């Protein structure tokens, strides 16, 4: 509802109580209602799912309309990210949040730092979703509070033009609440466990769940070795579990992102059940590394497959895992993606070992032969050495063209000595255009970086520690942090305001009138930043 209609509605409620509510301000209530637009996580999930569906349709019409996100490990990081996006671009459209299981394991587990192997608490995932949205809603409340102050100042000055301006900004306020693509890992158990966790994540506000086809109790980070996949039917059970959770909670537009790790996963824990030749189980098993055997040579405990009248023994490792044939990863990826999309997934995610557009596009072309509108979410991972990868890609492209590359050492292209070279500049241009070019060529609807704020926190803290504890002393903080905050218009330079102090003052005045004891008076040192942010 609009600001003015909320005021009118509240005035009616107040008047209906025979004078006992006359000390309540209808306009103050309207302000509080606007500042609490999303009252539950399900309200957020329904709202953001609709946004994602609209964005997916826009991308289908024009691949230049791709979306982006950064992984956030704390609500404050997410809040400052969205405040910055609104400041720099004027809108949050097509910018999401990504919730990384890796960062929860490394930063948010009660066990302390953990590897990305689904060892962190299940409850920490929905808890972080709730935290992220708490901070985004607080960003809304703070921004609206500043607009309400502008409105009050305009009225006090009898400035009708500024009052109309302030009212228009209030009525057209854009929320900081955006979609979250949330990592449910491999489901933390069987399909029932996946369903139960999915419900908690959706109730916390998640409109998009990303689930992978690894064995849940053997799950590894997508950029580590030792990944073990599950048969298609096992994975499809978990996709269905997520869809049931969305439908049960009244979020029919919820998004499921099906991730395949098959490109780098050479192992399986199970041989799939196959009822007839050519079914999904048979296709999965066809990739196993097997040797044909004579029945008379079979030994106790051997697992034997019958394929086309031949008896095959899959290679079984001491770990009791079975091995896929080398070189089958791409074929398995393509089948994984097609199967997932045909059984309820909305987006696919192919975890690759390097950011190479043609490698991704080659698989997507094959997938789109079967599912024409297939779209990807792609991990622009910090696990890739982007500089080295793209310099080597340029080197290889030049060499294929017959261009002289004798001035460059391919194995040592990370060296800073190449930063100002033609090759270095070309590689940087390819990196700069990677998202735009791959959205167009390789079907990537959503580009995300899983761990950026993990790395930025470490980098900025290193710089501050080096300067503050060194010769610069307090100037290390002032020149390296505060002065830059002021000049770049960083909202949290006024940290009391950012934490909600001014909102609290407004509430005190609502509740106590002239008797309110406010924190934001003339002696508040935050007034020194009156012209900042």
Task: Give CA–CA dist 403/237, Å, rounded.
Answer: 52
Both structure tokens of 138: 């607080």
Do 268 and 322 contact (CB within 8 A), yes or no?
yes
Q: How many other C-beta atoms lie within 10 A of the C-beta of residue 430?
A: 19
Does the annotation list 223 as a binding residue?
A: yes
Do 424 and 354 contact (CB within 8 A), yes or no?
no
Give the side-chain half-sphere CA count within 13 A for 234.
22
Task: Give CA–CA dist 508/381, Å, rounded.
Answer: 46
Do 184 and 126 contact (CB within 8 A), yes or no?
no
State the DSSP H helix or E strand holding residue 52, giving kind and residue range, or none if neither: helix 41-61
Does the annotation list 383 as a binding residue?
A: yes
Which residues are 209's β-sheet partners? 182, 256
Task: Give CA–CA dist 133/68, Å, rounded.
Answer: 18
Does the annotation list 259 as a binding residue?
A: yes
3 state DSSP class of 262: coil
267-268 and 322-323 as β-strands: parallel, antiparallel, unpaired?
antiparallel
State the DSSP H helix or E strand holding residue 389, giving kind and residue range, or none if neither: helix 386-401
Task: Give CA–CA dist 174/194, Å, rounded.
Answer: 34
Does the annotation list 100 as a binding residue?
A: yes
Does the annotation list 382 as a binding residue?
A: yes
Do 427 and 387 contact (CB within 8 A), yes or no?
yes
Task: Give CA–CA dist 256/181, Å, rounded.
Answer: 9
Q: How many residues does the chain have?
A: 533
Do 405 and 399 contact (CB within 8 A), yes or no?
yes
Does the annotation list 398 as a binding residue?
A: no
Does the annotation list 21 as a binding residue?
A: no
Q: Which residues touch 237 (CB under 8 Å, ≥6 apart)?
A: 190, 191
Does the annotation list 285 as a binding residue?
A: no
User: What single string gives the DSSP state of each residue in 182-244?
Assistant: EE-TT-SSSHHHHHHHHHHHHHHT-SEEEEE-B-GGG---TTSS--EE--HHHHHHHHHHHHH
221 labelled catalytic:
yes
Does the annotation list 183 as a binding residue?
A: yes
Q: How many other C-beta atoms lie within 10 A of the C-beta of residue 325?
A: 15
Do 147 and 173 contact (CB within 8 A), yes or no?
yes
Does the annotation list 13 as a binding residue?
A: no
152 phi and psi angles, rounded to 5 deg: -65, -40
Q: Which of 221, 242, 290, 337 is catalytic?
A: 221
Does the annotation list 222 as a binding residue?
A: yes
Both structure tokens of 68: 């982006």
Does the annotation list 349 as a binding residue?
A: no
Does the annotation list 470 as a binding residue?
A: no
Residues of each annotated binding site for substrate: 100-102, 222-223, 259, 379-383, 450
Residues of each annotated binding site for Mg(2+): 183
Query: Which residues are annotated as catalytic?
Result: 221
Residues of each annotated binding site: 100-102, 183, 222-223, 259, 379-383, 450
């Amino acid at each position: 509802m609009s600001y003015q209609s909320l005021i009118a509605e509240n005035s009616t409620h107040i008047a209906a109580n025979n004078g006992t509510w006359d000390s309540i301000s209808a306009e103050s209530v309207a302000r509080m209602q606007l500042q609490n637009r999303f009252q539950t996580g399900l309200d957020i999930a329904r709202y953001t799912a609709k946004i994602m569906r609209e964005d997916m349709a826009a991308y289908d019409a024009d691949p230049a309309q791709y979306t982006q996100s950064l992984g956030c490990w704390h609500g404050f990081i997410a809040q400052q990210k969205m405040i910055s996006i609104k400041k720099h671009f004027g809108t949050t459209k097509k910018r999401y949040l990504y919730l990384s299981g890796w960062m929860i394991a490394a930063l948010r587990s009660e066990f302390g730092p953990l590897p990305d192997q689904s060892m962190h608490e299940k409850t920490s995932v929905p808890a972080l979703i709730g935290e992220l949205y708490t901070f985004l809603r607080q960003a809304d409340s703070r921004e609206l509070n500043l607009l309400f102050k502008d409105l009050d100042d305009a009225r006090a000055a009898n400035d009708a033009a500024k009052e109309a301006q302030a009212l228009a900004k209030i009525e057209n306020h854009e929320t900081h609440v955006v979609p979250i693509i949330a990592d449910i890992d491999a489901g933390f158990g069987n399909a029932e466990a996946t369903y139960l966790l999915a419900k908690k994540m959706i109730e916390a506000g998640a409109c998009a769940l990303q689930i992978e086809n690894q064995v849940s109790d053997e799950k590894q980070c997508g950029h580590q070795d030792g990944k073990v996949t599950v048969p298609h039917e096992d994975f499809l059970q978990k996709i269905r579990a997520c869809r049931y959770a969305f439908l049960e909670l009244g979020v029919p537009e919820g998004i499921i992102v099906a991730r395949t790790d098959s490109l780098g996963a050479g192992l399986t824990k199970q041989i799939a059940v196959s009822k007839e030749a050519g079914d999904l189980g048979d296709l999965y098993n066809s990739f196993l590394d097997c040797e044909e055997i004579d029945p008379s040579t079979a030994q106790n405990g051997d697992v034997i497959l019958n394929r086309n009248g031949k008896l095959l023994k899959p290679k079984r490792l001491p770990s009791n895992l079975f091995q896929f044939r080398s070189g089958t990863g791409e074929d398995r990826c393509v089948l994984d993606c097609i199967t997932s999309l045909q059984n309820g997934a909305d987006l696919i995610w192919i975890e690759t070992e390097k950011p190479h557009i043609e490698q991704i596009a080659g698989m997507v072309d094959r997938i789109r032969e079967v599912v024409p509108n297939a779209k990807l979410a792609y991990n622009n991972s910090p696990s890739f050495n982007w500089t080295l990868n793209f310099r080597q890609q340029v080197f290889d492209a030049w060499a294929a063209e017959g261009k002289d590359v004798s001035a460059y050492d391919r194995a040592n292209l990370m060296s800073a000595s190449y930063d100002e070279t033609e090759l270095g500049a070309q590689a940087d241009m390819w990196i700069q255009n990677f998202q735009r070019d791959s959205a167009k060529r390789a079907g990537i609807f959503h580009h995300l970086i899983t761990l950026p704020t993990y790395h930025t926190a470490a980098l900025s803290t290193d710089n501050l520690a080096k300067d503050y504890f060194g010769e610069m002393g307090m100037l290390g903080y002032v020149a390296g942090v505060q002065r830059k905050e002021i000049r770049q218009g960083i909202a949290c330079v006024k940290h009391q305001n950012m934490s909600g102090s001014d909102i609290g003052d407004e509430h005190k005045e609502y509740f106590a009138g002239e008797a309110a004891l406010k924190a934001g008076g003339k002696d508040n040192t935050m007034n020194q930043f009156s012209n900042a942010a």
